[in-house]
Amino acid sequence: MIRHLVRQDCGSCHGLTLKGGLGSPLTAEALAGRPDEALLATILNGRPGTAMPPWRPFLTEEEAKWVIQWLKDGAPE
């Protein structure tokens, strides 16, 4: 369910394979070593001044943390 949301909704900007598009790549390599807290803030609050929208209305903090871990694991099926 969340996997589907990420591939469809996040993929529209970050690329269907999450390798980047309008948005930066969200691959395991791209996110390796990035602090979870910073990624969590970006996902929940968006990045003002960029196309990255806030997802707080659609994702709980727990779900966003799950997404970060899943992306860092290479977005397995």
**SS3 string of the chain?**
CHHHHHHHHHHHHHCCCCCCCCCCCCCHHHHCCCCHHHHHHHHHHCCCCCCCCCCCCCCCHHHHHHHHHHHHCCCCC
- Residues 33-72, one symbol each (x = binds ligand HEC by CB under 6 A, - = not), give ------x--xx---x--xxxx-x-----------x-----
Would you count residue 16 as binding ligand HEC (CB under 6 A)? no
Would you count residue 26 as binding ligand HEC (CB under 6 A)? yes
In the complex, least distance from residue 17 CB atom to ligand HEC, rounded to whole angstroms = 14
